[in-house]
Structure 1
Amino acid sequence: MSIEIGQNVPDFSATATGDATVTLSELRGKQVVVYFYPKASTPGCTTEGGDFRDNKAAFDAANTVILGVSRDGLRAQENFKAKEEFNFALIADTDETVCQLFDVIKLKKMYGKEHLGIDRSTFLIDADGKLAQEWRGVKVPGHVDEVLAAAKALNG
């Protein structure tokens, strides 16, 4: 099951950095970027998170909240956020609830072995809670610029 463009994104609550619980329905009235990354503190994930961090003011101006999600535990997420000075919440989706909701767990190959992992993906949810755009199998360079352009366009 995956959410189609234009459909309401089912509400979810998840544990996030800063001793917070993020609940999607509480963010109504703002656009929300939910980006999934495979593992905290790895090179591609660090670059992607840094790109979101460095563009946060522009996302704020576009009335858009940024949420990063991986299956890492809360301590790993807190360390990653602190080390990289991320200025947005990271969700510790250890039970894969949010991952399953967005259908981002895929069979991947690494060193010839297959394993289930997060397919780097980003979702833009409009202020009414509907899925406006999605990017799957994301390549990091230039990605955040694309997401920001889409958020600004959606904002009118």
Structure 2
Amino acid sequence: MQIAVGQPIPSFTAASTQGEISLESLKGQKTVLYFYPKDNTPGCTTQAQGFRDHHEEFTAAGARIIGVSRDSLKSHENFSAKQALPFALISDPDETLCELFGVMKMKNMYGKQVRGIERSTFLINADGTLLREWRGLRVPGHVDAVLQAVRES
């Protein structure tokens, strides 16, 4: 079962760089949940820096940011420290959240078909309902579009 806009997010629990995160812990505040392919790669670093650089604006608009990839917590901790990220990164090595949000896709990497995370962002409202989704997105301009949506929600 994949979630859809207007539907409540199913319950989940995941390990992150800031401790365990669950659906219950997200309630009461809007959440920007963004899925990215890999720590320390150019597009993912640019995206993380964009969310970092606008973190105060998201907070002022009443939203928290959480990144998700299949990287280990150790990899996330290093990436987070290197980029000075003020938000949590969830480690999803078994793809539980990836499957829940339907972000695993077959992609072409250097001429080979590989299964990986399709860069996607989800805006969840304070009661745990999916408000907006951006799938297969491009990094340039994306953080601004999400911030705009948070402000309008």
TM-score, with length taken from structure 1: 0.96
Runs of 4+ in 1 over 4 A off after TM superposition: none
Aligned-partner Cα distance in 2 for 1:127–1:148: 16
Partners of 2:74 and 2:27 lie apart in 1 by: 28
Letter in 2 for 1:113: K
Asked if residue 122 in structure 1 is aligned to residue 121 in structure 2, the reply is yes
CA distance in 1, matches of 2:52, 2:23: 20
CA distance in 2, matches of 1:128, 1:85: 29
What code does the residue aligned with 2:15 have?
Answer: T
Q: 1:4 deviation in Å?
A: 1.1
Give the Cα–Cα distance (whole angstroms) in 1 for the partners of residues 23 and 144 of structure 2. 23
Matched, 1:151 2:150: yes
Distance in 2, matches of 1:29 and 1:74, equals: 26
SS at match of 1:58: helix
Q: Whole-Å Cα distance in 2 between the matches of residues 53 and 24 of structure 1?
A: 22
Overall identity of the aligned pairs, in %:
55
Amino acid in structure 1 at the alignment position of 2:10: P
Residue of structure 2 in register with 1:135 after alignment: 134
Question: What do residues 6-53 of structure 1 show as CA deviations (whole Å, max 9, x unaligned)?
Answer: 0001121100014x0011222211000100000000000000000000
1:133 deviation in Å? 0.1
User: Which residue of structure 2 aligns with residue 3 of structure 1?
Assistant: 3
Distance 1:138 1:24 in 2: 24
Provide the alpha-carbon RMSD of the alignment.
0.7
Q: Note the 1:66-77 alignment, pairs <5 A.
A: 66-77=65-76
Structure-1 residue corresponding to 2:83: 84
AA aligned to 1:127 is: A
Distance 1:28 1:68 in 2: 17
Give the whole-Å Cα distance in 2 for the aligned partners of 1:27 and 1:9. 11
Structure 2 stretches of 5 or more lacking a match?
Answer: none
TM-score by length of 2: 0.98
Taking the aligned partners of 2:23 and 2:57, their CA distance within structure 1 comes to 21
Deviation at 1:62, TM superposition (A): 1.1
Q: How many residues align?
A: 153
